[in-house]
Amino acid sequence: MKREIEIGKFCTLFVLCGLFQLSLTPVLGRQISVAQARPNIVFILADDLRTGALSCEGHPFVKTPNIDRIGREGKRFRNAFVTIPVCTPSRASYLTGQYPHTNGIIVNTRYHELSHRLITFPRLLQQSGYDSAYVGKWHMGQDDTPRPGFNRWISFKGQG
């Protein structure tokens, strides 16, 4: 009799575990599909790269096949303008979506401790589960410490 009760408890527990697993399947499946639906984002910022300096823009002898392919397979912004023609404030505007007079970074020359506190799109992407990296010239002051919002950071002091 006792063995029948133990087998009955086991069967009940087994069925309950199976039902619990089945109830999670739609939730787990939905999470996977949401993760798969997120786009990959590659943001390339190059100083002093005018329109026409790439082979995909018609340059007669410069060959940029990898950048051309990214442009073919992704999104190209053909009508974009900077809010200020100076490196550091322009970079801060790209990263924050704010005008220089709003984010407070208006010159190249001094250390910008603000750059650690600004809310940037890489920081927002990281909070949304993206893995982000920064490689290259930062040029927002003479400080080369990693900025919030980046999982990987390879940079250097100054203008490069």
The residues annotated as belonging to the active site are 87, 139
- Do β-strands 133-135 and 152-154 pair in parallel, antiparallel, or remain unpaired? parallel
From residue 16, give the alpha-carbon distance in Å to each of 11, 22, 26, 28, 70.
Answer: 9, 10, 17, 18, 50
**Dist CA 97 CA 120 (whole Å):** 8
How many H helices and E strands in the chain?
6, 2
**Dist CA 112 CA 107 (whole Å):** 9
